[in-house]
Structure 1
Amino acid sequence: MSILLYVGLMLLCGLLFGRLVKFVGLPNVTGYLIAGLILGPYVLGILSFEAVENIGIVSEMALAFIALSIGAEFSKDYFKEVGLTPVVIAFFGATLTIVFVASGLIILGLEPSLAIMLGTIASATAPAATVMVIKQYRANGPVTKTLLSVVAIDDAIALIAFGFALTYVNSMAADGKGLLLSLLAPFIELFLSAIIGLVLALILLIPLHFFKKESNRMCAIVGILFITSSLADYLGASSLLACMFLGAVLININRESASIFKIADTFTPPIFMLFFVLSGAELDIFIIPSIGVIGVIYIIMRSIGKVFGSWFGAVLTKSEPMVKKYLGWTLLPQAGVAIGLSLVVDKALPQYSAQVRAVVLCSVLIFELIGPIASKIALTKAGEIK
Structure 2
Amino acid sequence: MQIILCLAAAMICGLLLTRVVKPVHLPNVTGYLIAGLIIGPYCLGIFQESDAAVTDVLTDVALGFIAFSIGGEFRISNIKQIGTSSITITFFQACLATLLVDAALLACGFPAPLSLTLGAIAAATAPAATLMVVRQYHAKGEVTSTLLPVVAMDDAVGLMLFSISLPISQALASNAALTVTSMLLQPLLEIVLSLAVGAGIGLLIALAMRFFHSKVNRISVAVAAVLLGSALASIWNLSSLLLCMAIGAVLVNLRNDADELLEITDAWTPPLFMLFFVLSGAELDLAFVPTVGLLGVVYMVARSLGKYFGSFLGATIAKSSPNIRKYLGLTLLPQAGVAIGMAQVALNALPEYGTQIQAVVLTATLIYELIGPVITKLALTAAGEIQDSKKSKAKTEQSAGGAK
**Same fold by TM-score greater than 0.5:** yes
Q: Distance in 1 between matches of 2:54 and 2:266?
A: 25
Residue of structure 1 equivalent to 2:370: 373
Given candidates 340, 344, 348, the residue that maps to 2:345 is 340
- C-alpha separation between the residues in 1 aligned to 2:82 and 2:347? 34
Instruction: Name 2:78's counterpart in structure 1.
Output: 78
Q: In the TM superposition, what is the alpha-carbon distance from 1:171 to its structure 2 partner?
A: 6.8
Whether the 8 Å CA contact 1:74–1:248 is kept in 2: the answer is: yes
Contact 2:311 2:328 in 1 (8 A): yes
Which residues in structure 2 correspond to 1:205-354 (within 5 Å)?
A: 205-319=206-320, 321-322=323-324, 324-331=328-335, 334-341=339-346, 343-346=348-351, 353=352
Question: Equivalent residue for 2:402?
Answer: none
Q: What corresponds to 1:349 in structure 2?
A: none
Give the Cα–Cα distance (whole angstroms) in 1 for the partners of residues 26 and 72 of structure 2: 27
The residue identity in structure 2 corresponding to 1:235 is: W
Shift of 1:225: 1.5
SS at match of 1:123: helix
Q: How does 1:188-207 map to 2 (within 5 A)?
A: 188-207=189-208
Q: Which amino acid aligns with 1:341?
A: A
Aligned residue for 1:155? 159
CA contact (8 A) 1:117 1:162 kept: no
Preserved contact between residue 121 and residue 342 of structure 1 (Cα < 8 Å): no
Query: Is the Cα–Cα contact under 8 Å of residues 197 and 243 in structure 1 kept in the other structure?
Result: yes
Cα distance in 2 for partners of 1:58, 1:67 equals: 14
Q: Equivalent residue for 1:145?
A: 149
TM-fit CA distance, 1:242: 0.7
- TM-score, normalising length from structure 1? 0.84
| Deviates further, 80-89 or 226-235 | 80-89
Segments of 5+ residues of structure 1 without an aligned counterpart are: 347-352
Please state how far the C-alpha of 1:250 moved relative to its aligned partner: 1.1
| Structure 1 Cα separation of the partners of residues 80 and 42 of structure 2 | 49
Q: Distance in 2 between matches of 1:90 and 1:163?
A: 23
Distance 1:123 1:211, change over 3 A: same
User: Any idea what SS the aligned residue of 2:334 has?
Assistant: helix
SS in 1 for 2:192: helix
Distance 1:117 1:283 in 2: 17
The one-letter code sitting in structure 2 at the alignment partner of 1:328 is: L
> Cα deviation per residue 1:199-252 (whole Å; 9 max; x = unaligned)?
001111232111111111111111111111211221111101111111111111
Pairwise CA distance, 1:264: 0.9
% identical equivalent positions = 33
For the structure 1 residues 332 and 7, does the alpha-carbon distance in structure 2 shift closer, same or farther, using more than 3 Å as the test? Answer: closer
Alignment partners' CA distance in 1, 2:305 and 2:117: 15
Inter-CA distance 189–56: structure 2 relative to 1 (3 Å threshold) = same
Q: Is the 8 A contact 1:151 1:331 kept in 2?
A: no
Structure with max Cα Rg: 2
**1:62 counterpart = 2:66:** no
User: Structure 1 341/48 Cα, relative in aligned 2: closer, same or farther at 3 Å?
Assistant: closer
Q: CA deviation at 1:43?
A: 1.1
What are the ranges of 5 or more consecutive residues in structure 2 without an aligned counterpart? 390-404
Aligned length: 370
The whole-number CA distance in structure 1 between the counterparts of 2:312 and 2:113 is 23
Q: SS in structure 2 opposite 1:286?
A: coil
Match of 1:285, SS state, is coil
User: How far apart in 1 are the matches of 2:375 and 2:197?
Assistant: 35
Q: Is 1:26 matched up with 2:26? A: yes
